[in-house]
Structure 1
Amino acid sequence: MTNLNPSRRVPRRRLHPKRTLSPEEIAQWYAERAAFRQRCQPIFDRLKPELIKTHYNWYMAVEPDSGEYFIEKDSLAAGKICRQKHPNAIPHVFRINETGVCGTI
């Protein structure tokens, strides 16, 4: 019979305990993301009906300050093109379908 050595499991901990966010900081981050999406949403809603016909399930990266958008088959490629044109801006990526997102939970 084989002797089994019980191995002691090391408890998991945070990788960077000094970099934890307070609940207020987390709530602020979510609020900023929601406000950013609300700035990008009108551009997406304006273009969505015509793009669904030709580019269904492609991705659209929107830069809200300039109003420019970039369409690609891959979400990372769309974001990369947007960042090349606007290096200091953060794009919001939508999927070109009825909801603008990749799926539901």
Structure 2
Amino acid sequence: MTAPKPTRTVRRGRIFPDIQWSEEKKAQWKAEQEAFYQRCKIIFDRVQPELIKSHHNWYVAVEPESEDYFTDKDELAAIHKSRQQHPNAPVFIFRINETGIAGTI
């Protein structure tokens, strides 16, 4: 006869319970993300009218420190292009259309 399977204990809760963000830290992170978006949005708004004519529905990765932007049909390819020029710099992805929104909810 086969041995019975041991009962599995179900663990509930956070994976790392000792890592908890306070409300202040969450608010600070959101504020930093919003500030980064606003810096990238300024660059996107400047280049969007000329890019929409030739690259409609492509993606653009904006790096705000150097004000460089990289376009491609594929979102990951645009990010890859930016990583080749600026390996450790964060980028923001926009879609080259009327709204600039790159994803759906």
Q: Same fold (TM over 0.5)?
A: yes
Distance (Å, rounded) in 2 between the aligned partners of 1:91 and 1:103: 15
Equivalence for 1:49: 49
Question: Aligned pairs, how many?
Answer: 99
Choose 17-26 or 58-67, whichever is displaced more: 17-26
Alpha-carbon spacing, 1:9–1:73, altered in 2? closer, same or farther (3 Å) = farther
Percentage of matched positions with identical amino acids: 59
The offset of 1:69, in angstroms, is: 0.5
Give the corresponding residue for 2:27. Answer: 27
Instruction: Give the C-alpha shift of residue 30 in structure 1.
Output: 0.7
Ranges in structure 2 where 5+ consecutive residues have no aligned partner: 1-7
Partner of 1:76: 76
Q: Which letter maps to 1:27?
A: A
Paired residue secondary structure (1:18): coil
Q: Tell me, in whole angstroms, the C-alpha distance in 2 between the residues paired with 1:69 and 1:26.
A: 29
Distance in 1, Cα, partners of 2:57 & 2:13: 39
| SS of residue matched to 1:66 | coil
SS in 1 for 2:18: helix
Residue by residue over 1:78-100, the C-alpha shift from the partner in whole angstroms, topping out at 9 and shown as x without a partner, is 11211121012111111111111
Using the TM superposition, give the Cα deviation of residue 55 of structure 1 relative to its aligned residue in structure 2, in angstroms: 1.1
SS in structure 2 at match of 1:102: coil
What is the correspondence of 1:1-105 to structure 2 with a 5 Å cutoff? 10=10, 12-103=12-103
Unpaired runs of at least 5, structure 1? 1-7
Shift of 1:9: 8.8
Paired amino acid for 2:12: R
TM-score by length of 1: 0.82
Normalising by structure 2, we get a TM-score of 0.82
Equivalents in 2 of 1:55, 1:62: separation in Å? Answer: 15
